[in-house]
């Protein structure tokens, strides 16, 4: 039996996430698409796809009968609105997955730390850039102590570069399980930094070791957002994966 979810926000992000739930999820099903503009394209698209729609915001979802079995709410509205949404969800013991910048709950990247936050009633999705890059830093960290990280450049202790490359490739495949267009643009690049050309790293001092450079590209799934909007597609894909993992942990 699938877990019923609702999406708050009928803009581009919410609509793309809705279509992902409908087309790709084996765990979740749409219970409601909730907006405040009855003429929005997102609500029109939801109605055309047979999804129940509400136009009174979260109050509509909370007060109307027939939606008591919604277990997860995805919030694709705004950081300002999320505080109230989160309070209402907590009072009704509904799991919240936050796609806004509110940061009311712990930050989550599904393949990196979801297991630590199954008990949190409100989880926050890391930014689009973070969803793309943090898995790579985590992959390097599995085999070498990372002292500095910026986008997907890592400075780590001296380590087996083949092991680092293998760890990154495994992580890319893990992310591809929910973001199909996530891939390496070229092979992982390595530079060894010796004592003769040591880097001065703030907080670390003179650094010697391995510089790992990872170049990624992300092609969107074009469910609703265009294929070139991979930076947004990774957010909705990560949110979907987070919801599925929560559902499997709590209600399967």
Q: Where along the chain do its domains lie? A: 3-126+226-251, 130-218
Distance CA 35, CA 57 (A): 5
Write down the pLDDT at residue 227: 86
Q: What long-range pairs does 31-35 form, CB within 8 A, spacing at least 24?
A: 31/4, 31/5, 31/6, 31/67, 31/69, 31/70, 32/6, 32/7, 32/61, 32/67, 32/70, 33/6, 33/7, 34/6, 34/7, 34/8, 34/9, 34/10, 34/58, 34/60, 34/61, 35/8, 35/9, 35/10
Per-residue confidence (pLDDT) for residue 210, from 0 to 100? 94
Cβ contact 10:40 at 8 Å: yes
Looking at residue 201, its pLDDT comes to 84
CATH architecture of the region 130-218: 2-Layer Sandwich (3.30)
For the beta carbon of residue 75, count every other beta carbon within 10 angstroms.
Answer: 29
Catalytic residue (choose from 58, 126, 128, 234) = 128
pTM listed for this prediction: 0.87
Q: Which fold has domain 3-126+226-251?
A: Rossmann fold (3.40.50)
Q: How confident is the model at residue 204, as a pLDDT?
A: 82
Q: Which residues of the chain have pLDDT under 50?
A: none
* pLDDT for the residue numbered 63: 82
Residue 154 appears among annotated catalytic residues: no
* Range 35-42, long-range pairs (CB < 8 A, 24+ positions): 35/8, 35/9, 35/10, 37/10, 40/10, 40/11, 41/10, 41/15, 42/9, 42/10, 42/11, 42/12, 42/14, 42/15, 42/18
pLDDT, position 16: 97
- What is the pLDDT, as a whole number, of residue 47? 97
Check: CB of residue 89 under 8 Å from CB of residue 97.
no
> What is the structure's pLDDT at 187?
94
Give the pLDDT confidence score for residue 251 in this predicted structure. Answer: 87
Sign of CA dihedral 123, 95, 252, 240: negative
pLDDT tens digit string along 165-210?
Answer: 999 999 999 999 999 999 999 999 999 999 998 998 888 889 999 9
């Amino acid at each position: 039996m699938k877990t019923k979810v609702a999406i708050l926000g009928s803009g581009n992000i919410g609509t793309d996430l809705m279509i992902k739930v409908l087309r790709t999820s084996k765990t979740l099903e749409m219970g409601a698409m909730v907006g405040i503009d009855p003429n929005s394209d997102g609500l029109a698209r939801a109605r055309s796809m047979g999804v129940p729609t509400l136009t009174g915001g979260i109050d509509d979802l909370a007060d109307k009968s027939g939606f008591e079995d919604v277990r997860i709410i995805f919030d694709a509205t705004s950081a300002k609105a999320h505080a109230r949404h989160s309070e209402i969800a907590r009072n009704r013991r509904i799991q919240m997955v936050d796609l806004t910048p509110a940061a009311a709950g712990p930050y989550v990247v599904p393949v990196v730390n979801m297991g630590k936050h199954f008990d949190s009633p409100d989880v926050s999705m890391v930014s689009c850039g973070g969803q793309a890059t943090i898995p790579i830093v985590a992959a390097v960290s599995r085999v070498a102590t990372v002292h500095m990280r910026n986008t997907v450049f890592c400075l780590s202790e001296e380590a087996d570069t083949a092991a680092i490359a293998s760890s990154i490739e495994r992580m890319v495949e893990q992310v591809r399980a929910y973001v199909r267009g996530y891939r390496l643009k070229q092979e992982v690049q390595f530079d060894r930094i010796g004592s003769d050309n040591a880097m001065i790293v703030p907080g670390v001092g003179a650094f010697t070791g391995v510089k790992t450079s990872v170049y990624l590209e992300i092609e969107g799934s074009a469910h609703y957002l265009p294929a070139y909007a991979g930076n947004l597609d990774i957010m909705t894909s990560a949110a979907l994966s987070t919801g599925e993992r929560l559902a499997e942990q709590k209600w399967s």
